[in-house]
Structure 1
């Protein structure tokens, strides 16, 4: 478990994290979302003891991470896949981490196999693609077989096979009862991977809830109705309290009534339907709606 309690972190006059509190539970993949400059990376660094907070504190498995000897046994992290000595081989990099954390040498081969880098183990990291470096970073995070795992933008540079592998890995780790905390700007991947969300903006908490509940907070876009006599259906729908917008000759977009009620009205008036689809907001739409006033570097609208 990860606990963040009333954390504030400043860099000069700029407040990166502002009285932030949340808990990341084991057994589920928890996504960490926020606009650029929201304080996500700073929060992860504070959790791992790399930056000291100006106020508040964090714990990993009930104690400050910096106080834990041989930290890789307690928490593994991938914060920046590029921060690896380019002159070392993948095997040498992991072997050094294993020795410094009192881990058995066999773990190096095990995690290299787990992330698909067996054949690249003897190559220098400087020649790796970004996707390969991401895999090496995941291997380092898994090295100590820890109960807590943190990943910052792990999908960057991954090809489709790598993205699919990561999704499965994160779900598997959570199913084993581990705490999996995942930061990403790729909403489609977060929507496919995370079950819980922590959302921040300008260093403050916006939401801490299941992904489905967060997406449901955005306005729904209505029910798409397809009917041969769509124009005849508009009147009864409006009379029942719905707002109706025509979308092509045979389609309507209806808000204010559920799909079941729309179907019942169509049947009552003898109008056959060939489409009745509820549109709901995607995670991206919900995120944009609920963090619109928390964007630190808003761009002007495209011309």
Structure 2
């Protein structure tokens, strides 16, 4: 388990992490999300003892990472895949790490086989592709067969087969009762993988909830309804407390004749209740489809005010509204 309590990090006048508290529990894949500059990397570095907090604590299995006698056997981390001596071979790199934690040499060959690097294990790391470097970083994180796995952008540079392997690997670790914390900008991948989400913006906690609850809270959720009785249905639904808006009909937008009224987006009532109300009032429905929000849509809605850098109207990068 990972516990973060009141964690803050200040660099001069800049506050990178601001009084952050959350718990990463075993048995779940926990996604760690936030816009660029939100403080994710700084938080991960403090968890594994690479940066000293200005205030607050971060513990792994009840102890600060720096106090662990054999840290690789408690928590394995991939934070920067390129942080490897380019002149060493993959096997040499892993053997050095294994020796530092008193791990047997056979474990090196086991993790190399696990991540698919047995054949290139004698090649110098400097000649590795980005994807191969990611696999090597994951191998290093697994050396001590740890209880806790921390991965920062683990699928960066991987091909589809590698991405699927990482997804199955994280799922397997969580199903085995281990603690898995993964940071990624690939929202579709996170939606397919994570059970729980911790979202930060400008160094502060923005959300700490299950994936299902996070998506359900989005204002983008609704039910798409198409009916030849638009006016009557709108009146019935609004009288029952629903919010009803018309979706843009693409055929009408293009100037084409439409067979019926444009579809409606209904919020505040589920599809079952909408169907019941339509039936009770003798109104036909031609479409009744829940519209499920994507993780990317829900994430962007939540963090809209926490984006440090955004693209301006003319394509120039802006920092807090000022062109840079």
| TM-score, length-scaled by structure 1 | 0.93
Structure 2 partner of 1:286: 298
Residue 189 (structure 1) aligns with: 189
- Cα separation, 2, equivalents of 1:70 and 1:62: 14
Structure 1's unaligned 5+ residue stretches are none
Whole-Å separation in 2 of the counterparts to 1:264 and 1:39: 47
Separation in 1 of the partners of 2:164 and 2:290? 28
Query: C-alpha deviations, 1:68-113, integer Å up to 9, x for none?
Result: 1221111100001111111111111111111111001111111111
Q: Deviations over 1:168-217 (max 9, x none)?
A: 10010011111111011111111111111111111111121112112222
| 1:230 Cα deviation after fit | 5.4
Counterpart of 2:285? Answer: 273
Distance 1:59 1:240 in 2: 50
Aligned pairs for 1:117-136 (under 5 A) are: 117-136=117-136
In structure 1, what is the Cα distance between the partners aligned to 2:238 and 2:74?
59
**Greater mean alpha carbon deviation, residues 212-221 or residues 33-42:** 212-221
The Cα RMSD (Å) is 1.9
Matched, 1:116 2:144: no
Give the Cα–Cα distance (whole angstroms) in 2 for the partners of residues 142 and 236 of structure 1: 58
Give the counterpart of 1:253 among 265, 268, 278: 265
Deviation at 1:297, TM superposition (A): 2.0
> Is the contact made by 2:32 and 2:183 (CA closer than 8 Å) also made in structure 1?
yes
Q: Is the 8 A contact 2:36 2:309 kept in 1?
A: yes
What is the distance in 1 between the residues matched to 2:58 and 2:149?
15
Shift in Å at residue 19 of structure 1? Answer: 1.2
After superposition, the C-alpha distances for 1:33-82 in whole angstroms (9 at most, x for unaligned) are 11111111011111111111111111111111101122111110000111
The whole-number CA distance in structure 2 between the counterparts of 1:168 and 1:302 is 41
CA contact (8 A) 2:17 2:204 kept: yes
Instruction: Measure, in 1, the Cα distance between the counterparts of 2:74 and 2:55.
Output: 24
TM-score by length of 2: 0.87
Aligned to 1:55: 55
Structure 1 distance, partners of 2:266, 2:23, is 39
Distance in 2 between residues matched to 1:246 and 1:208, nearest whole Å: 33
1:267 to partner: Cα distance: 2.6
2:308 to 274, 278, 296: 296
Per-residue deviation, 1:273: 3.5
| Aligned-pair CA distance for 1:243 | 4.0
Give the Cα–Cα distance (whole angstroms) in 1 for the partners of residues 65 and 98 of structure 2. 18
Q: Which consecutive unaligned segments of at least 5 residues does structure 2 have? A: 250-259, 316-324
